[in-house]
Amino acid sequence: MPLEIVRNDITKMKVDAIVNAANESLLGGGGVDGAIHRAAGSGLLAECRTLGGCKTGKAKITGGYNLPAKYVIHTVGPIYNDGKHGEKVLLESCYRESLALAKEYQCETVAFPLISSGVYGYPKDQALKVAIDVISDFLLENEMMVYIVIFDKAAYKISEKLFSDIAEYIDDNYVDEHTNYSRERIRMNALPPMAPRTRRKKTDDDFLEMCDCRAMLAEDDLDAKLKQIDESFSQMLLRKIDEKGMTDAECYKKANIDRKLFSKIRSDVHYKPSKPTALAFAISLELSLAETEDMLRKAGFALSHSNKFDIIIEYFISKGNYNIFEINEALFAFDQSLLGA
Ligand code: AR6
């Protein structure tokens, strides 16, 4: 999955580069900056001293020293005032500049903290949105695995409105499921009784004829059935990509699926993806709920109202919101597994 939100201490991430939420002096501080300097050791501070500081919205790179990461990219986020002082543009620039440096140094994996969302006071839900927007834009054009590292549960917040909307949708749908089930039972009980069958004693000829017919029917049936083997998941995926006028790359990037997995699916007509992968493609292709169900069936799955994961996906599809990163934000907030590979 090219973009993943994880809960971790960024100093523990085994990636090519971690990003530091620094200040303009680049000489260390509190928060994640302090943690990174402590874990990297004094070599990091010595190298930072040679850099001559860094402007807000810009980024500079150093070695990782004692960290598991090879590089540290230091970026300086804006101090949040009231949101009307260009904070968003500066924060976007932090992510863009850091990603550009990571690319220049051929990093394949990069981990970001939520820049500016601590001491610098940027509201966490908005800080996360900026991070997701800029990183997902970048990933449309570039191959990289990017992690947004959330330090603790409290540090993570999707907007309260979205959270409560989804919570309400989950509640409603648990209830609906129950109501539908009751309705179904009432309907079944209301069916008219079946007409009694007329009986005639069967002769041996009747019996042989019946056996022959059954054998012929079974053969025909099997032939017919074999001829109508459904298109596979992979065939449906490729057909839909064509129908939507997308390129393969557009589709797998929007699905937050990496190129290697996509090639595997493309070249194996019988490939059976996991449920999150199948759903990620349905989201990327902006399929309706019915089409999504169809695509899932081809992979051997179904949407069910008995788990939150499915209901959250259904919520987004029913709202016509196919932004996989926003969906993953919500899934993360409800402690569900994320979409993608
Ligand atoms: N791993 C991942 N995330 C962390 C970690 C960690 N080990 N520690 C904190 N966070 P902050 P800022 C999260 O204050 O707002 C420094 O003094 C934290 O929960 O570190 O950009 C600098 O020198 C929060 O969500 O950075 C600057 O002076 C996020 O990292 C100033 O703070 C960023 O919080 C920069 O402030």
Distance 136 CA to ligand 1 centre (A): 22
Q: pLDDT digits over 33-68, tens only?
A: 999 999 999 999 999 999 999 999 999 999 999 999
Q: Are 134 and 92 in contact (CB under 8 A)?
A: yes
Distance linking the first and last C-alpha atoms of the chain: 5
Distance CA 298, CA 292 (A): 10
Per-range mean pLDDT, top range of 157-166, 168-177, 285-294 = 285-294
> Whose alpha carbon is nearest atom 24 of ligand 1?
118
Distance 118 CA to ligand 1 centre (A): 5
Distance CA 122, CA 181 (A): 47
Predicted model pTM: 0.71
Q: Where are the domains of the chain?
A: 3-157, 163-179+230-333
Strands ordered across the beta sheet of 17-22: 3-7, 145-150, 109-112, 17-22, 71-76, 59-63
Does residue 140 surpass a pLDDT of 90? no
- What are the C-alpha distances in Å from 293 to residues 27, 66, 249, 288, 331? 54, 49, 23, 9, 19
Q: Are 232 and 278 in contact (CB under 8 A)?
A: no
Cβ-defined contacts of 44-49 (< 8 Å, 24+): 44/72, 48/74
> Which of 319, 331, 230 has its CA nearest to residue 280?
331
CATH of domain 3-157: 3.40.220.10
Q: Which CATH class for the 163-179+230-333 domain?
A: mainly alpha
Distance CA 61, CA 57 (A): 14
Distance 152 CA to ligand 1 centre (A): 12
Interval 131-153 mean pLDDT: 88
The reply to whether 230 belongs to the active site is: no
Question: What is the residue type of 319?
Answer: K
How many CA within 13 A on the CB side of residue 296? Answer: 20
Interval 170-190 mean pLDDT: 48
Distance CA 305, CA 248 (A): 31
Mutate to test the pocket of ligand 1, among 119, 126, 153 (most ligand atoms within 8 A of CB): 119
Q: Are 57 and 115 in contact (CB under 8 A)?
A: no
Q: Provide the 3-class DSSP secondary structure of residue 170.
A: helix
Q: Are 285 and 244 in contact (CB under 8 A)?
A: yes
Distance 123 CA to ligand 1 centre (A): 13
Interval 116-134 mean pLDDT: 91
> Whose alpha carbon is nearest atom 34 of ligand 1?
118
Interval 119-124 mean pLDDT: 92
In terms of C-beta density within 10 A (0-12 exposed, 13-18 middle, 19 or more buried), how is residue 153 classed?
exposed
Same fold, 3-157 and 163-179+230-333: no
Distance 336 CA to ligand 1 centre (A): 25
> Whose alpha carbon is nearest atom 5 of ligand 1?
32
Catalytic residue among 33, 137, 165, 294: 33
Question: What is the residue type of 161?
Answer: K
Does residue 213 surpass a pLDDT of 60? no
Q: Which two tokens stand for residue 142?
A: 């570039």
Mutate to test the pocket of ligand 1, among 26, 32, 153 (most ligand atoms within 8 A of CB): 32
Hunting for tokens 């709202």 — which residue is that? Answer: 319
Q: Which residues line ligand 1 (CB under 6 A)?
A: 9-11, 21-23, 29-33, 35, 77, 113-120, 149, 151, 155
> Whose alpha carbon is nearest atom 7 of ligand 1?
9
Q: Are 115 and 77 in contact (CB under 8 A)?
A: yes
> Which of 285, 277, 291, 299 has its CA nearest to residue 247?
285
Mutate to test the pocket of ligand 1, among 18, 23, 151, 157 (most ligand atoms within 8 A of CB): 151
Q: Provide the 3-class DSSP secondary structure of residue 8.
A: coil
Q: pLDDT digits over 3-31, tens only?
A: 888 888 999 999 999 999 999 999 999 99
